[in-house]
Amino acid sequence: MKEVFRFLGALLLGLLLVGGTAALGIVLLLQGEESLTRELLRLAQAKATLLFFVGFLFLLVLGSLLYPVFLGYLAATRALGQEAEVILSNPGHRLRPRGPLELQTLARLINRLAQEKEALEREVAARVAEAKALLEEERKKLALLIAHLPQGVVLANPRGQVLLYNPAARELLGEGLGVGKSLLGLLDRGLWVHALNLPEARFLTQGPRGALWLQVVPLEGEKGHLVLLEGAKEEGALDGRLLHRLRDKLAGLKALVEVLDLEVQSPHLQSLLRTARATAEELSQLIASWKPKAQAAEVLAEDLLSLLAQTLEREVGITPGFSLEEEAKGLLVLADTYVLARGLAEALQEVEEAFLEGRREDGFLHLTLTLQEGRGIRLPPLLEEAAGRSGGSAWGGASRLHLLLPAREAPRLPTQEGPPPRAVVFDLTLFQVPEALEEAPLESLLYTAFDLETTGLDPEKDAIIALGGVHVLGQRVLRQEAFEALVDPGRPIPKVSSEVHGLTWEMLKGKPRLEEVLPAFRAFLEDSVLLAHNGAFDMAFLRRVGIHQPPLVDTLLLSHLLFPDLKDHRLEALAERFGVPVVGRHTALGDALMTAEVFARMVPLLKEKGYRTLGEVLRACAQLPLAKLTY
């Protein structure tokens, strides 16, 4: 409609110019010819209707002839502008001169400018590469060192999002670990907060793949945390499965002894049976006494009181007062701080005021928790267990709780001379990620570009046979964080589908079923924004198997948003337009990688058009007619 008004305005302006020029010429010709002027006016009045009809007909014919030309010129101009914007993301792209001569001249000029821009960018890139060479070498050395460490190492920002990790950490935490994802979804949140306050201590927790030792060390200047992980199995300890097998075999041995005792009458064999019974009982007592090593760590007395006060404020909303006598300061107290804090929180569930006092007492720290006068208090089993784990004791009386924890003098450390060691600095872009996902800048989010291959096009009847995905951090495609799985659909695949993706049932027989693959794929998608090309189709299949994870960024919609006057929005066309190699087309991982690379090159163009946040992009895409398409 806007284009129609522009055309009518231009046509009216042209008619006014032509009509005005003609009227001025007639006035000049008739100057001094009064009789001729009167005769012309009389004739015009007599033929006014005919003159108006002829003028209207002329205007209609002229508009019909010029309107397609006008629209074609506008469309060619807009298409030239939209294609020229691609150069912002892909400097190697060149325009094809077409349309009117002036637009062809403009296209050649833009190509010249693009060539100069590309040359300048190459020069700048070369200089930047030289400047970063030394830093990159140090980063490689550090990454190589971390990769070969036997324990898991994760670098996280203050919000717990992963910035760097080594293979050992991935082995311990599974597919849910990834750059940009949150560690708080994989580990106990309460224990994480507790461990932050005790960077020297290790804590036992349950990870996605079993028990872990966790240590969280804050980085200088509140720039993040270094997380150290280690499998919880210790030398000489029995894991749960082996202990269960031993108990099972022992139960079978006892049953066999009881049966033989009833059946065997020989005195000689009776003696052997008594020995077997005694052996079984001794093994039973040994297995029953086999407990994990007590988890306790040494912490300074002043740090312990402060830590307990913070936990009570966070867990039950109480801000207790606390004091520590001068003789107790500097003591190293042996305690399972996490269980101790939880036990105190359990004891104070319905209490409004409390006071915590610590004093030294013959190799122990004596903690006294006092409530307001007349308020009774019970001793929670968890608190008694916490004291017992470190070799201490706990008891209660009236409005007080008492804890006796082993303590010793902290050794004096020699003063370190000389400057502190130089820290290794990284460009950690996730430090400034906003709290609200909708208002987050496009280049600060973690995306998962994914694609599916299926047995057909009907989400209600057809099945998924391949899944592929790759993480994209802003404009950086993390090719080392990829997911690919083939799935046995349990039925033949139509020939027309196999001709597209090249997968047949014979190739997929023996592969895992979809329900075996989905948990790992779901973990790979967590804490990220989904990204796909023509994603409505893929999401229809995922919704059917229980994956509902909005929002979804669709590069097909983004292409229509960026290039509304271009006709080809296929993934191959976008890849060619942005200089992305077309590799592995119609394979799940290949298409996911192409989608990721195309999106990374779209981000600058979206920002140039004013779409800087995820919310702005999604709202703009929702207005497109194509967004109404469902499967």
For the annotated catalytic residues, the residue numbers are 586
Choose among 609, 626, 594: nearest CA to 562. 609
Spatial separation of the C-alpha atoms in residues 581 and 583, rounded to whole Å: 6
Helical H segments across 90-199, by residue range: 101-147, 167-173, 189-196
- The DSSP H or E segment spanning 300 is strand 297-300
Contact partners, residue 101, CB within 8 Å, separation at least 6: none
| Exposed/middle/buried for residue 238 (C-beta within 10 Å: 0-12, 13-18, 19+) | middle
CA 568 to chain CA centroid, Å, is 31
Task: Kindly state the tokens that stand for 372.
Answer: 């307001």
Backbone angles phi, psi at 624, to 5 degrees: -75, 140
Task: Report the DSSP pairing between strands 529-532 and 552-554.
Answer: parallel
Spatial separation of the C-alpha atoms in residues 238 and 211, rounded to whole Å: 13
Spatial separation of the C-alpha atoms in residues 392 and 403, rounded to whole Å: 7
Q: What amino acid occupies position 389?
A: R
Beta-bridge partners for 553 = 531
Spatial separation of the C-alpha atoms in residues 81 and 69, rounded to whole Å: 18
Q: What share of the chain is helix, strand, coil (3-state, %, to 5)?
A: 50, 20, 30
CA-to-CA separations, 472 to 385, 551, 597, in angstroms, rounded: 46, 15, 9
Q: What amino acid occupies position 45?
A: Q
Dihedral angle at the C-alpha atoms of 27, 32, 36, 42, nearest 10 degrees?
60
Cis bond upstream, residue 97 (ω within 30): no
- Tell me the HSE value of 149 on the side-chain side, using a 13 A CA sphere: 18
CB 450 within 8 A of CB 482: no
CB 93 within 8 A of CB 87: yes
Spatial separation of the C-alpha atoms in residues 417 and 412, rounded to whole Å: 15
